[in-house]
Amino acid sequence: MPSAIENGANGNSNGTSSHGIPTSCPSCPTPLKYSGSLDHLPFFEITPIIGREYPTVKVTDILNAPNAEEQIRDLAIIISERGVIFFRDQDDLNIADQKRFCDLVGKLSGRPEENGLHVHPIYRDPGNLTLPDGSTDENIYVINSEAQKKIYKTMAKRGPEEPRDLSREWHSDSTFETVPSDFSFLKMEETPPHSGDTLWCSGYEVYDRISPSFRSYLETLTATCAQPVFKSAATAGNYDVMSPRGSPLNVGDDFAPSHPVVRTNRVTGWKAIFAGVGLHVTKINGVYSYEDQMIRDYIMRLMTRNHDCIARMKWTKNAAAIWNNTCVWHAATPDTHLVDGNRVGVRASSIGEVPYLDPKSKSRREALGIPIF
Ligand SMILES: [Fe+2]
């Protein structure tokens, strides 16, 4: 049962459960209701469970529509229900509009008003990659496979050869922050003819595949999401990490918050597994190390043995994806070294709310009346 403890997150009174997990986001007007403003746009679903593609829609047309705010709010609802959506041929979308769109998706879907776009902690690092025009932007994270190849060449060789375990690629953006990202928007400026696919896995569906008694247990748990690499990089480079980073609460260089293993998505009101697995998850709190490993292995097993929970993007030049980090994990496929051509992406991320678990929220299948099997 939730207690009446106030924790003051986001500057508002915010109850917490007896396990120390926030139970609401008082400033988030959720769940939101779709108005139908996007019904005229052609689309197809990627799978029955996750993902949608709008093959001919231009993001700039949505931004410039007379009812742009209504359309963007509706799109935020669709992203939050489907987990991720894909666009193609966004050749006319510049960095300023990409940032504006990502910011509006978060803002118009009820993000606490003091939050904004994430600032990458080590933006001041001399090795920070530039945008294709040579400039940099503190709100844009740049991906460049050719630059990564050069970085890896300078690294010491590993020990005996062994098959790679790509499960470590799965993550949710910015979970190393007290207030992590809600929406991330990635545009691929350049891509080889194949390789570098990105995958998204539904945290809603993984939650739905866990037995009710075990779900209840997971709902009592939090995980430490530590990422000490930023502080060590800043120390080595003799610069300060950026602060604040998209929220007045994302300051300093600790990068070790605790987040709930099960989280309510503020837009849909549905529960998803959140901090139970992923690159930035260091440990499940309050359990023995063997139990910690067992829980994380179990969640990863559900993800990797249920590929109907996964949507896959085969990138094309100027394709884009926008997803809700509070209900999906994503993973890049590190196979670009096998082909010629550069993979260059630019990503903006909105900062959402302090993760919470509303004990009254439902699972996606419960809310939609879909049986498990
Ligand atoms: Fe990511």
pLDDT in tens, 141-195: 998 888 776 655 555 555 556 677 889 899 999 999 999 999 999 999 999 999 9
Please tell me the distance between residue 334's alpha carbon and the centre of ligand 1 in angstroms. Answer: 13
Please tell me the distance between residue 267's alpha carbon and the centre of ligand 1 in angstroms. Answer: 21
Q: Average of pLDDT values for 289-311?
A: 96
Residue 22 φ then ψ, to 5°:
-55, 140
Please tell me the distance between residue 171's alpha carbon and the centre of ligand 1 in angstroms. Answer: 6
**Neighbouring C-alpha atoms within 13 Å toward the C-beta of 245:** 30
The continuous run of DSSP H or E covering 149 comes out as helix 145-153
Q: Residue 146's pLDDT is what?
A: 81
Judged by DSSP in three states, 282 sits in coil
Enter the tokens of residue 316: 């094309």
Instruction: Determine the Cα angle at 268 with ends 267 and 271, to 5°.
Output: 115
The fold adopted by the segment(s) 28-151+175-368 is Double-stranded beta-helix (3.60.130)
Helix/strand/coil percent split, the chain, to 5: 25, 20, 55
Judged by DSSP in three states, 263 sits in strand
Among 80, 119, 86, 117, smallest CA distance to 102 is for: 117
Helix axes 95-108, 68-82, angle to 10 degrees: 80
- What is the domain partition of the chain in residue ranges? 28-151+175-368
Please tell me the distance between residue 349's alpha carbon and the centre of ligand 1 in angstroms. Answer: 10
CA distance 236 to 110: 39
Please tell me the distance between residue 253's alpha carbon and the centre of ligand 1 in angstroms. Answer: 20
CA distance 285 to 300: 17
CA distance 219 to 136: 41
Q: Residue 7's pLDDT is what?
A: 37
Instruction: Determine the Cα angle at 328 with ends 95 and 290, to 5°.
Output: 130
pLDDT in tens, 29-62: 778 999 999 999 999 999 999 999 999 999 999 9
Q: Residue 307's pLDDT is what?
A: 96
The dihedral formed by the CA atoms of 101, 103, 109 and 114, expressed in degrees to the nearest 10: -160
CA distance 282 to 285: 9
CA distance 278 to 89: 31
Q: Average of pLDDT values for 343-351?
A: 96
Q: Residue 26's pLDDT is what?
A: 86
C-alpha distances in angstroms, 366 versus 47, 207, 332, 371?
A: 19, 11, 30, 8
pLDDT(12) > 50 = no
Ion ligand 1, residues whose Cβ is below 5 A away: 173
- Is the distance from CB of 312 to CB of 286 less than 8 angstroms? no
Q: What percent of the chain has pLDDT over 70?
A: 92
Burial 258-286 (b: 16+ CB within 10 A, else e): bbbbbbbbbbbbbbbbbbbbbbbbbbbbe
Please tell me the distance between residue 322's alpha carbon and the centre of ligand 1 in angstroms. Answer: 11
Please tell me the distance between residue 177's alpha carbon and the centre of ligand 1 in angstroms. Answer: 13
Q: What is the pTM (predicted TM-score) of this model?
A: 0.93
Single-letter code of the amino acid located at 264: T
Please tell me the distance between residue 368's alpha carbon and the centre of ligand 1 in angstroms. Answer: 29
Please tell me the distance between residue 173's alpha carbon and the centre of ligand 1 in angstroms. Answer: 5
Please tell me the distance between residue 329's alpha carbon and the centre of ligand 1 in angstroms. Answer: 8
CA distance 334 to 148: 11
Other CB atoms closer than 10 Å to residue 138's CB: what's the count?
15
Q: Residue 30's pLDDT is what?
A: 72
Among 167, 229, 177, smallest CA distance to 199 is for: 167
Please tell me the distance between residue 184's alpha carbon and the centre of ligand 1 in angstroms. Answer: 8
Residue bearing the bigger pLDDT, 163 or 119: 119
Please tell me the distance between residue 317's alpha carbon and the centre of ligand 1 in angstroms. Answer: 19
pLDDT(250) > 50 = yes
- Is the distance from CB of 196 to CB of 332 less than 8 angstroms? yes
**Per mean pLDDT, which range of 2-11, 36-45, 98-107 is the poorest?**
2-11
Please tell me the distance between residue 201's alpha carbon and the centre of ligand 1 in angstroms. Answer: 13
